[in-house]
Amino acid sequence: MKCPFCGNLETQVVETRISEDADFIRRRRQCSACEKRFTTYERPDVSFPSIVKKDGRRIEYKRSKVLGSMSLALRKRPVSTEQLDAAVERIEEKLLSLGLREVASNRIGELVMRELKKLDKVAYIRFASVYRSFEDIDEFRALVDEVRK
């Protein structure tokens, strides 16, 4: 594995951990040249369904997009990286279990909202306010009231 800091090809695994649900392996590595440490994740390579956008375009699923949008909603919230990774894993498991070749982007948005609602109510409201494109304050208030219940 190439060191992301200095580009050296000689790195050594110093610690290996299997995730709680055994879906991926986390490895801590150390570069033999600069001695810096970094983390890699080993996951099975699976085919996710294509994502159908609102305008009809089809794009490939990218974990980084889901992770990025959830991270933005969770910014400065008390949710650990491990909790976020587990939530993304659950979304991916659901996508794979659907057994479909194509999934509408709004379905992924709903899966993200469901996970955020479990993780952090403020992040859920942040994401929903952008995702649902509220037209007025009453729609936003209804969402906040729903979360309070």
What are 93-106's pLDDT values in tens digits?
999 988 899 999 99
Higher-confidence residue of 20 and 49: namely: 49
Q: Where are the domains of the chain?
A: 1-44, 46-148
Q: Which two tokens stand for residue 135?
A: 């037209």
β-bridge partners, 15: 28
Q: Per-residue pLDDT tens for 101-131?
A: 999 999 999 999 999 999 999 998 888 888 7
Which of 88, 112, 108 is closest to 98 using CA atoms?
108
